[in-house]
């Protein structure tokens, strides 16, 4: 069985930093944020530039498809975003603009794909004391990050996803949690 770790959390919670640490410690490939990789294809610098509903939907579907493809090709990885993150962004940005059936279908795909992770770590919105970088993609807006946090937290509970809530700034807790869930053949000394 492979080691597939998914990290869930709003912007600026330390997902990429934690993914990098877990990657080094457990010798795993990092699957980064897929959305940024699609910016060039959509000729945008940020999803906020998508003004056409069809483009917004196509962008979100592309994220899901590309993420699924990247993750299904590997047996061992750490992903710095999960399918819960994708579902939360869809809910926040698109659910009031599209038919419920379309949202339910998207959520069902996200929920099904969450079953591929054997370890999930949830980073709360205020774990690091707020957004340290507002780079035009990530946002320092507390209400937005907190809304994302609540949506993700709700989906983890509703979808009955076993996870570690890592509220500490100390990432060693995540390493110890992963070690407790697996046998570590490639552990770095």
- Strands lying side by side in the sheet with 77-79: 29-31, 77-79, 4-9, 119-123, 164-165
**Rounded Cα–Cα distance for residues 174 and 171 (Å):** 5
Reported as a single tens digit per residue, the pLDDT across 143-169 is 888 899 999 999 999 999 999 999 888
Cβ within 8 Å of residue 172, ≥6 positions away? none
What pLDDT is attached to residue 188?
Answer: 45
pLDDT digits over 25-50, tens only?
999 999 988 888 898 889 988 888 88
CB 140 within 8 A of CB 63: no
Query: What local confidence, expressed as pLDDT, does residue 126 receive?
Result: 79
On average, the pLDDT of the chain sits at 88
pTM above 0.85, yes or no: yes
Report the SS3 class of residue 39: helix
CA 32 from centre of chain:
9
Residue 41 contacts residue 62 (beta carbons within 8 Å): yes
- CA geometry: angle 79, 85, 87, nearest 5 deg: 130
Q: Cα–Cα distances in Å, from 180 out to 14, 90, 139?
A: 22, 33, 34
So what's the pLDDT on residue 27? 95
Domains and CATH numbers, the chain: 4-181 (3.40.50.300)
For residue 175, pLDDT beyond 70: yes
The reported pLDDT for the residue numbered 157 is 97
- 182 falls in which pLDDT band (50, 70, 90)? confident
98-150 residue pLDDT tens: 999 999 999 999 999 999 999 999 999 877 766 555 555 455 677 888 899 99
């Amino acid at each position: 069985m492979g080691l597939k770790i998914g990290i869930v959390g709003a912007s600026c919670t330390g997902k990429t930093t934690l993914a990098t640490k877990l990657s080094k410690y457990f010798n795993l490939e990092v699957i980064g944020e897929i959305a940024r990789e699609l910016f060039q294809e959509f000729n945008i610098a940020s999803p906020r530039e998508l003004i056409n509903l069809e483009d917004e939907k196509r962008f979100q579907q592309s994220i899901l498809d590309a993420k699924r493809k990247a993750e299904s090709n590997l047996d061992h990885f750490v992903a710095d975003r999960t399918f819960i993150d994708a579902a939360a962004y869809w809910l926040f940005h698109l659910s009031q603009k599209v038919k419920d059936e379309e949202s339910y279908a998207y959520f069902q795909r996200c929920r099904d794909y969450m079953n591929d992770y054997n370890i999930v770590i949830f980073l709360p919105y205020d774990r690091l004391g707020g957004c340290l970088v507002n780079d035009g993609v990530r946002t320092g807006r507390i209400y937005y990050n907190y809304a994302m946090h609540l949506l993700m937290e709700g989906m983890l509970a509703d979808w009955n996803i076993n996870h570690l809530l890592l509220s500490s700034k100390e990432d060693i807790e995540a390493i110890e949690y992963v070690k407790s869930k697996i046998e570590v053949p490639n552990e770095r000394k």
